[in-house]
Amino acid sequence: MEWHDELGYRLEFDEPPERIVSLVPSLTETLFALGLKSQVVGVTKFCVEPAGEVESIEKVGGTKNPDLRAIAALDPDLVIANAEENRQQDVERMRAGGLKVFVTYPRNVSGALESILGLGRVTRRESEAAVMAREVVRVVSVIETSLGIWNKLRLRVFCPIWKKPWMTFNEDTYAHDVLRLLGFLNVYGDSAIRYPRTTLEEALDRQPQVVVLPDEPYEFGEADVAELKAELPSGLSRRIMLIGGRDLHWYGVHMIKGLAALAERLGRLRASITPAG
């Protein structure tokens, strides 16, 4: 059997992989949902889902600093990685050591669907992955149908992902496409840098109508909302909402509940604003 990952790297298998290490939290959850619990032998310390099941699996460091010796000692048939969450040099070192690494790289919702199907193919769970992908498509369809006028009259949103310095993302990212799906226009979508650094002054110059603060990778909380309310114009200061970072950033099986939850939460924010906004 021969497969290619999402960066075009070729992998060959004589048999379906029986020992899998996952370095991507959202895909660890997805592997379990595909029925591969017994095959997952190693995960990162950030792989926390599915809760109650993943805790007993050996931890092999973090996403940016995996313990490559521990991974090799597990003798995996397959390592799951991501082009953004994991470092290229770590992927190359694992491959140089003879490990087979499948790298994902979704940059929009449709790409995330392809990642689900690709993961199903390389693990020989094609039918389970197809069912999962169809459920994601159903959720996306419901969201798109429910937007109504907001499908065209999109609210301009500033969505930072880090603080000190402030950082956000452009249109070449999965998070941007999720906001688009939900009826919002990312004010940094046209940035030439995928994850630009910015300031509040620069963000305000882009005239956002709402501000959403995810709780990861930076853990924005109520204290950050209070701080921003004191610094933003009065109208914008009333349009700040905390959202789940996993709902915004995690692809794979989490999309089924995550996109629906995010649509419901941001829908409440949108409902408080008239179309004339």
Q: Mind listing the pLDDT tens digit for each residue in 167-194?
A: 999 999 999 999 999 999 999 999 999 9
Predicted pLDDT at 273? 79
Among candidate residues 217, 154, 206, 213, the one with its CA nearest the CA of residue 180:
154
Predicted pLDDT at 276? 46
Residue 18 scores a pLDDT above 60: yes
Q: Tell me which of 149 and 29 has the higher pLDDT.
A: 29
Mean predicted confidence (pLDDT) in 50-74: 97
Predicted pLDDT at 274? 60
Q: Judging by DSSP bridges, how do beta strands 210-214 and 155-158 pair with one another?
A: parallel
Report the percentage of the chain scoring pLDDT > 70: 99
Predicted pLDDT at 253? 98
What is the torsional sign of CA 30, 34, 35, 40?
A: negative
- Dist CA 184 CA 216 (whole Å): 19
124: alpha, beta or left, given left = phi > 0 and alpha = psi -120 to 50?
left
**C-alpha pair distances (Å), 106 with each of 7, 58, 62:** 10, 27, 20
Residue 154 scores a pLDDT above 50: yes
- Dist CA 222 CA 160 (whole Å): 15
Q: What is the pLDDT of residues 77-104, one digit of tens each?
A: 999 999 999 999 999 999 999 999 999 9
Select the CATH number that applies to the domain covering 2-133 from these four: 3.20.20.120, 3.40.50.410, 3.40.50.1980, 3.40.50.300: 3.40.50.1980
pLDDT interval class at 1 (50, 70, 90): confident
The ranges assigned to domains in the chain are: 2-133, 148-271
Predicted pLDDT at 30? 98
Asked if 168 and 188 count as a contact pair (C-beta separation under 8 A), the reply is yes
Predicted pLDDT at 36? 98
Residue 147 scores a pLDDT above 50: yes
- Among the ranges given (25-29, 66-70, 189-193, 264-268), the one the predictor scored with the smallest mean pLDDT: 264-268
CATH number listed for the domain at residues 148-271:
3.40.50.1980
> Which one-letter amino acid corresponds to residue 237?
S
Two domains, one topology: 2-133 and 148-271 = yes
Tell me the two tokens of residue 35: 């029925």
Residues 6 or more apart in contact with residue 152 via CB below 8 angstroms? none
Mean predicted confidence (pLDDT) in 132-142: 98
Mean predicted confidence (pLDDT) in 105-119: 97
Query: Order of strands across the sheet with 155-158?
Result: 184-186, 155-158, 210-214, 240-243
- The pTM of this model reads 0.93
- Among the ranges given (58-62, 111-115, 208-212, 271-275), the one the predictor scored with the smallest mean pLDDT: 271-275
Mean predicted confidence (pLDDT) in 146-158: 87
